[in-house]
Structure 1
C-alpha cells in the first residue's frame, strides 16, 4: 500500500524524532559499531523516503 505524501512525511518525522530521542539517551560508553551502523542505516532509509517525496512533486 502506497502512503500519501502527508502520511510519508509524518512517518519520516516520527522516525526521526524516535532516532533523536534514542541518540539523546544513549550511554556513549556503551555504543558499539553495530549501533552506529544501525543508526546510519535508519538515516539512509529516511533519506530515501524524503527523496521519494521530492521526486513525486
Structure 2
C-alpha cells in the first residue's frame, strides 16, 4: 500500500540524519496521509489524501 496522496502525489522523502560528529545515516520523512471518504464522480469513495489537500479544499468530503 503506497503512502502517497491521491490528489497531489505527495509521498515519502529521503534524506540524512546528521549527528554532532557530522556522521550521516539515511532516514525517511513520511507525508501526513489520511484515509477519508470523499465524493469521486458523484459517489462516496475512500481515498488517501494529505492534510494540505484537505485543508485547502481540493476534495469534497462525503459525510
Q: TM-score when scaled to structure 2?
A: 0.23
Structure with more strand by fraction: 2
User: Higher Cα Rg: structure 1 or 2?
Assistant: 2
Structure with more helix by fraction: 1
